[in-house]
Amino acid sequence: MCGRYTLTATPEEVKALFAYEDTPNFPPRYNIAPTQPIAIVRQDHGRRRFGLVRWGLVPSWVKDPASFTLLVNARAETAAEKPSFRGPMRHHRCLVPASGFYEWRRQDGSKQAFFIRPKGGGLVAFAGLFDTWSDPAGGDMDTGLVLTVPASAAVSAVHDRMPAIVPPADFDAWLDTGSIDSRAATRLLRPAPEDFLDLVPVSSRVNTFANDDPAVQDPVEDAQHVPPSVRPQRQSRKAGQPEDGSQFDLFAPQKADRS
Protein backbone atom coordinates (compact mmCIF):
# COMPACT_ATOMS: atom_id res chain seq x y z
CA MET A 1 0.00 0.00 0.00
CA CYS A 2 0.94 3.66 -0.05
CA GLY A 3 0.32 5.17 3.38
CA ARG A 4 2.66 8.17 3.34
CA TYR A 5 3.97 10.42 0.61
CA THR A 6 5.48 13.83 0.02
CA LEU A 7 4.91 16.90 -2.16
CA THR A 8 7.77 19.37 -1.82
CA ALA A 9 7.77 21.00 -5.25
CA THR A 10 6.79 24.66 -5.49
CA PRO A 11 3.30 25.62 -6.69
CA GLU A 12 4.86 26.88 -9.94
CA GLU A 13 6.60 23.54 -10.57
CA VAL A 14 3.43 21.57 -9.93
CA LYS A 15 1.36 23.81 -12.21
CA ALA A 16 3.99 23.61 -14.97
CA LEU A 17 3.76 19.80 -15.09
CA PHE A 18 0.02 19.37 -14.61
CA ALA A 19 -1.12 22.41 -16.63
CA TYR A 20 -4.24 23.20 -14.59
CA GLU A 21 -5.99 26.57 -14.78
CA ASP A 22 -5.89 27.42 -11.07
CA THR A 23 -3.09 29.23 -9.24
CA PRO A 24 -3.06 27.70 -5.74
CA ASN A 25 -0.48 28.47 -3.09
CA PHE A 26 0.59 25.65 -0.79
CA PRO A 27 3.56 24.80 1.44
CA PRO A 28 5.98 21.91 0.96
CA ARG A 29 4.82 18.74 2.71
CA TYR A 30 7.32 16.05 3.71
CA ASN A 31 5.10 13.49 5.46
CA ILE A 32 1.51 13.46 4.18
CA ALA A 33 -0.71 10.95 6.00
CA PRO A 34 -4.25 9.55 5.64
CA THR A 35 -7.16 11.80 6.74
CA GLN A 36 -5.17 14.91 5.76
CA PRO A 37 -6.06 17.09 2.75
CA ILE A 38 -4.19 16.12 -0.41
CA ALA A 39 -3.81 17.89 -3.74
CA ILE A 40 -5.44 16.38 -6.83
CA VAL A 41 -5.76 17.34 -10.47
CA ARG A 42 -9.05 16.49 -12.18
CA GLN A 43 -10.72 17.29 -15.47
CA ASP A 44 -13.81 19.51 -15.51
CA HIS A 45 -15.52 20.21 -18.84
CA GLY A 46 -12.29 19.61 -20.73
CA ARG A 47 -10.15 21.75 -18.42
CA ARG A 48 -7.70 20.57 -15.79
CA ARG A 49 -8.43 21.88 -12.31
CA PHE A 50 -6.54 21.76 -9.02
CA GLY A 51 -8.41 20.67 -5.91
CA LEU A 52 -8.08 19.41 -2.35
CA VAL A 53 -9.71 16.25 -1.00
CA ARG A 54 -9.40 14.32 2.24
CA TRP A 55 -7.15 11.28 1.88
CA GLY A 56 -9.45 8.34 2.50
CA LEU A 57 -12.28 7.71 0.02
CA VAL A 58 -15.88 7.79 1.18
CA PRO A 59 -18.13 6.64 -1.70
CA SER A 60 -21.16 8.83 -2.36
CA TRP A 61 -23.57 6.03 -1.39
CA VAL A 62 -22.25 5.62 2.17
CA LYS A 63 -24.84 6.51 4.82
CA ASP A 64 -22.50 7.19 7.76
CA PRO A 65 -18.83 8.03 7.02
CA ALA A 66 -17.95 7.60 10.71
CA SER A 67 -18.72 3.88 10.47
CA PHE A 68 -17.09 3.34 7.06
CA THR A 69 -13.59 1.87 6.70
CA LEU A 70 -10.99 4.39 5.57
CA LEU A 71 -10.08 3.59 1.94
CA VAL A 72 -6.59 5.00 1.44
CA ASN A 73 -5.59 2.75 -1.49
CA ALA A 74 -7.28 0.55 -4.06
CA ARG A 75 -5.78 -2.15 -6.28
CA ALA A 76 -5.73 -0.87 -9.84
CA GLU A 77 -6.32 -4.37 -11.24
CA THR A 78 -9.74 -4.76 -9.60
CA ALA A 79 -10.92 -1.20 -8.86
CA ALA A 80 -13.34 -1.14 -11.81
CA GLU A 81 -15.13 -4.20 -10.40
CA LYS A 82 -15.49 -3.22 -6.73
CA PRO A 83 -18.65 -1.43 -5.53
CA SER A 84 -16.66 1.22 -3.62
CA PHE A 85 -14.53 2.14 -6.65
CA ARG A 86 -16.65 1.30 -9.70
CA GLY A 87 -18.34 4.72 -9.88
CA PRO A 88 -15.17 6.79 -9.33
CA MET A 89 -13.32 4.68 -11.94
CA ARG A 90 -15.98 5.62 -14.47
CA HIS A 91 -16.51 9.25 -13.57
CA HIS A 92 -13.99 10.58 -11.02
CA ARG A 93 -10.42 9.72 -11.97
CA CYS A 94 -7.70 12.14 -10.92
CA LEU A 95 -3.95 12.64 -10.66
CA VAL A 96 -2.18 13.06 -7.31
CA PRO A 97 0.99 15.21 -7.58
CA ALA A 98 3.86 13.78 -5.53
CA SER A 99 7.60 14.16 -5.03
CA GLY A 100 7.92 10.60 -3.74
CA PHE A 101 6.47 8.15 -1.24
CA TYR A 102 7.50 6.13 1.81
CA GLU A 103 7.41 2.40 2.34
CA TRP A 104 8.61 0.06 5.08
CA ARG A 105 10.54 -3.18 4.73
CA ARG A 106 9.54 -5.60 7.46
CA GLN A 107 12.10 -8.25 8.34
CA ASP A 108 12.82 -10.28 11.50
CA GLY A 109 10.45 -8.17 13.60
CA SER A 110 11.98 -4.84 12.57
CA LYS A 111 10.94 -2.11 10.13
CA GLN A 112 13.19 0.00 7.94
CA ALA A 113 11.61 3.05 6.29
CA PHE A 114 12.53 4.02 2.73
CA PHE A 115 11.95 7.23 0.83
CA ILE A 116 11.19 6.25 -2.77
CA ARG A 117 11.53 9.04 -5.31
CA PRO A 118 12.32 9.69 -8.96
CA LYS A 119 16.04 9.53 -9.70
CA GLY A 120 17.33 13.07 -9.74
CA GLY A 121 14.23 14.39 -7.98
CA GLY A 122 11.25 15.96 -9.69
CA LEU A 123 7.53 15.26 -9.69
CA VAL A 124 5.36 12.24 -10.43
CA ALA A 125 1.63 11.72 -10.78
CA PHE A 126 -0.08 8.95 -8.84
CA ALA A 127 -3.30 7.59 -10.32
CA GLY A 128 -6.13 8.51 -7.98
CA LEU A 129 -9.89 8.39 -7.55
CA PHE A 130 -12.15 10.89 -5.81
CA ASP A 131 -15.80 11.14 -4.83
CA THR A 132 -18.13 13.55 -3.09
CA TRP A 133 -20.19 12.49 -0.08
CA SER A 134 -23.23 14.66 0.64
CA ASP A 135 -24.48 15.15 4.17
CA PRO A 136 -28.28 14.99 4.51
CA ALA A 137 -28.02 18.42 6.12
CA GLY A 138 -26.57 19.82 2.89
CA GLY A 139 -22.78 19.75 3.34
CA ASP A 140 -20.37 18.04 0.93
CA MET A 141 -17.10 16.24 1.66
CA ASP A 142 -14.61 15.51 -1.14
CA THR A 143 -12.40 12.48 -0.53
CA GLY A 144 -9.89 10.49 -2.54
CA LEU A 145 -7.40 7.63 -2.67
CA VAL A 146 -4.29 6.40 -4.48
CA LEU A 147 -4.39 3.39 -6.81
CA THR A 148 -1.64 0.80 -6.45
CA VAL A 149 -0.07 -1.77 -8.76
CA PRO A 150 2.35 -4.67 -8.19
CA ALA A 151 5.77 -3.31 -7.27
CA SER A 152 8.57 -3.09 -9.78
CA ALA A 153 11.50 -5.42 -9.14
CA ALA A 154 13.44 -2.62 -7.41
CA VAL A 155 10.58 -1.61 -5.10
CA SER A 156 9.64 -5.23 -4.37
CA ALA A 157 12.79 -5.49 -2.25
CA VAL A 158 10.85 -3.30 0.22
CA HIS A 159 7.14 -3.93 -0.48
CA ASP A 160 5.01 -5.89 -2.94
CA ARG A 161 2.81 -2.92 -3.96
CA MET A 162 3.49 0.64 -5.10
CA PRO A 163 1.47 3.64 -6.30
CA ALA A 164 0.47 3.56 -9.96
CA ILE A 165 2.58 6.30 -11.57
CA VAL A 166 0.98 7.88 -14.64
CA PRO A 167 3.47 9.27 -17.20
CA PRO A 168 2.70 12.74 -18.59
CA ALA A 169 1.90 11.23 -21.99
CA ASP A 170 -1.07 9.43 -20.39
CA PHE A 171 -2.44 12.33 -18.32
CA ASP A 172 -5.15 13.21 -20.84
CA ALA A 173 -6.31 9.62 -21.30
CA TRP A 174 -6.45 8.90 -17.55
CA LEU A 175 -8.45 12.05 -16.83
CA ASP A 176 -10.80 11.66 -19.82
CA THR A 177 -13.72 9.84 -18.24
CA GLY A 178 -15.98 10.83 -21.12
CA SER A 179 -14.09 8.99 -23.86
CA ILE A 180 -11.90 6.47 -21.99
CA ASP A 181 -13.84 3.79 -20.12
CA SER A 182 -12.73 2.03 -16.94
CA ARG A 183 -11.18 -0.96 -18.70
CA ALA A 184 -9.11 1.18 -21.04
CA ALA A 185 -8.06 3.41 -18.15
CA THR A 186 -6.98 0.38 -16.11
CA ARG A 187 -4.66 -0.70 -18.92
CA LEU A 188 -2.75 2.57 -18.49
CA LEU A 189 -1.67 1.61 -14.97
CA ARG A 190 1.49 -0.43 -14.57
CA PRO A 191 4.66 -0.49 -12.43
CA ALA A 192 7.23 2.24 -12.95
CA PRO A 193 10.22 1.42 -15.20
CA GLU A 194 13.03 -0.33 -13.35
CA ASP A 195 15.48 2.56 -13.68
CA PHE A 196 13.00 5.28 -12.69
CA LEU A 197 13.15 5.30 -8.88
CA ASP A 198 15.73 5.60 -6.11
CA LEU A 199 15.16 3.92 -2.74
CA VAL A 200 16.70 5.82 0.14
CA PRO A 201 16.72 4.36 3.69
CA VAL A 202 15.51 6.98 6.19
CA SER A 203 15.00 7.10 9.95
CA SER A 204 11.94 6.09 11.95
CA ARG A 205 11.05 9.79 12.39
CA VAL A 206 8.83 9.37 9.32
CA ASN A 207 6.64 6.96 11.31
CA THR A 208 5.12 9.94 13.14
CA PHE A 209 3.36 12.29 10.75
CA ALA A 210 3.83 15.24 13.10
CA ASN A 211 7.45 15.11 11.88
CA ASP A 212 6.67 16.99 8.68
CA ASP A 213 10.05 18.54 7.95
CA PRO A 214 12.97 18.03 5.54
CA ALA A 215 14.92 15.90 8.03
CA VAL A 216 12.54 12.94 7.58
CA GLN A 217 14.15 12.44 4.16
CA ASP A 218 17.74 12.44 5.39
CA PRO A 219 19.48 9.16 4.44
CA VAL A 220 20.57 6.71 7.12
CA GLU A 221 22.54 3.48 7.06
CA ASP A 222 20.41 0.41 6.58
CA ALA A 223 21.24 -1.92 9.47
CA GLN A 224 20.26 -4.99 7.43
CA HIS A 225 21.11 -6.10 3.94
CA VAL A 226 20.67 -3.30 1.42
CA PRO A 227 19.25 -4.52 -1.90
CA PRO A 228 21.41 -3.52 -4.89
CA SER A 229 18.79 -1.02 -6.04
CA VAL A 230 18.88 0.84 -2.72
CA ARG A 231 21.38 3.68 -2.70
CA PRO A 232 21.59 6.17 0.18
CA GLN A 233 21.61 9.57 -1.46
CA ARG A 234 21.01 13.02 -0.04
CA GLN A 235 18.24 14.92 -1.76
CA SER A 236 18.44 18.59 -2.57
CA ARG A 237 15.25 20.26 -1.42
CA LYS A 238 13.55 23.48 -2.27
CA ALA A 239 11.94 25.42 0.51
CA GLY A 240 8.84 26.30 -1.49
CA GLN A 241 6.94 29.51 -1.25
CA PRO A 242 5.76 30.88 2.09
CA GLU A 243 2.19 29.88 2.78
CA ASP A 244 -0.57 32.08 4.13
CA GLY A 245 -2.37 31.14 7.33
CA SER A 246 -5.46 29.63 5.73
CA GLN A 247 -3.45 27.46 3.33
CA PHE A 248 -1.26 26.17 6.16
CA ASP A 249 -4.38 25.14 8.07
CA LEU A 250 -5.64 23.20 5.05
CA PHE A 251 -2.47 21.14 4.95
CA ALA A 252 -1.96 20.74 8.70
CA PRO A 253 -2.18 17.28 10.34
CA GLN A 254 -5.69 16.50 11.57
CA LYS A 255 -5.42 13.44 13.85
CA ALA A 256 -2.98 11.58 16.07
CA ASP A 257 -0.52 9.25 14.39
CA ARG A 258 -1.53 5.65 13.81
CA SER A 259 1.98 4.21 14.06
Instruction: List, by residue number, the catalytic residues.
Output: 2, 103
Q: What is the dihedral of CA 58, 63, 66, 71, to 10 degrees?
A: -20
Strand order in the sheet with 4-7: 29-32, 4-7, 100-107, 110-118, 197-202
Residues 6+ apart with CB under 8 A from 257: 33, 207, 208, 209, 210
DSSP letters, 110-138, are EEEEEEEEETT---EEEEEEEEEEE-TTS
Query: Are 35 and 55 contacting, i.e. CB atoms less than 8 angstroms apart?
Result: yes
Q: How far apart are CA 229 and CA 212, in angstroms?
A: 26
Q: How far apart are CA 167 and CA 214, in angstroms?
A: 26
